Structure 1
Amino acid sequence: MFQHILIPIDGSELSLRAARQGIELARLSQGKVSVIHVIAPFQTIAYMGAILAATEFAYNDEAKANAERYLGDVCALAKEAGVTCESEAVFGEQPYDTIVQAAKNRQCDLIVMGSHGWRGMTRLLLGSETHKVLLRSDVPVLVCH
């Protein structure tokens, strides 16, 4: 079974459901989980530099606080299930790349993540980050919806 499961979260209810699934798999296989939240960097434009710098600082602080809350919620679920949990918030330009690299660096043998739900008229498309992880990951990816 899987011994080290990576669980990317974005704070949505869907990612929390995926986290519960990943934690349960880890519990059943007596494995551990690593939880990651990727923070998109603040996008700036060259206009009124001092205001943008203050806005970027506020954005970074709020994004870090949200990340710690999301990570804390999932680690609490893991602790309740008796599963070892590591967590990290990371700034990354491309969330999918950060997720795939984290799985490699941590030697994870499974990624469990949310599908980002259905969208569009056809309701057949996966979220773009999930789709990119599926295409680029060297380890299996369990997509929860």
Structure 2
Amino acid sequence: MYKNILIATDGSSLANRAVEHGVNLAKSLGANVLLLTVTERFHVFALEADQLEETSDSFREHMRKQAERTLSEASEIAHNLGVEATTLQMEDDAPYRAIIRMAEDHVCNLIVMASHGRGGISALLLGSETMKVLAHSNIPVLVVR
């Protein structure tokens, strides 16, 4: 049924539980796993406090390190469960679009996500990325609470 599973993570503890759940599902089905994290782009005019004091280069380096840490943790979860996973980091202002696009590009037939992740003011203004994936994806989405 599910042969290619995309698991989206932001590195939060809830997202790590979704990674574990998705990897266990993939293991039981013999499915391939793609671990994805999406980082935001640098904006000259920003609402996020971490962008107000950074230059474009320092912000990109900070996001690269965060993505590396996030994917390393997710890969370790998969490895500990005996599953080999591919990792991918994307940069996009609309993470939900990147998640859907990567699932389509990699011919995934299931997306696994946590019910919510990191928030802050952008989450209040933009809403839940999980809700947006649910609303816009033609691919089934498994939401882990």
The Cα offsets for residues 29-88 of structure 1, whole Å up to 9 and x where unpaired, read as: 01121011111101113xxxxxx8x61211110110110111011111112222120101
The Cα offsets for residues 104-140 of structure 1, whole Å up to 9 and x where unpaired, read as: 00000100001117x9xxxxxxx52111100111111
Q: 1:33 & 1:59 partners in 2: Cα distance? A: 29
| Bigger-Rg structure (1/2) | 1
Shift of 1:89: 1.0
- Match of 1:111, SS state, is strand
TM-score, reference length from structure 1: 0.84
Query: Is the Cα–Cα contact under 8 Å of residues 11 and 73 in structure 2 kept in the other structure?
Result: no
Query: Is the Cα–Cα contact under 8 Å of residues 4 and 110 in structure 1 kept in the other structure?
Result: yes
Seq. identity, %: 38
Structure 1 consecutive aligned stretches of length 4 or more whose deviation exceeds 2 Å: none
Q: 1:79 & 1:30 partners in 2: Cα distance? A: 14
Unaligned runs of 5+ in 2: 46-51, 120-126
Report matched runs for 1:1-145 at 5 Å. Answer: 1-45=1-45, 55-116=55-116, 128-145=128-145
- Match of 2:5, SS state, is strand
Query: Is the Cα–Cα contact under 8 Å of residues 6 and 103 in structure 1 kept in the other structure?
Result: yes
Query: Is the Cα–Cα contact under 8 Å of residues 6 and 108 in structure 1 kept in the other structure?
Result: yes
Q: 1:76 & 1:13 partners in 2: Cα distance? A: 14
TM-score, reference length from structure 2: 0.84
When the two chains are superposed, the root-mean-square deviation of aligned CA atoms in Å is: 1.9
Query: Is the Cα–Cα contact under 8 Å of residues 113 and 144 in structure 1 kept in the other structure?
Result: yes
- Match of 2:58, SS state, is helix
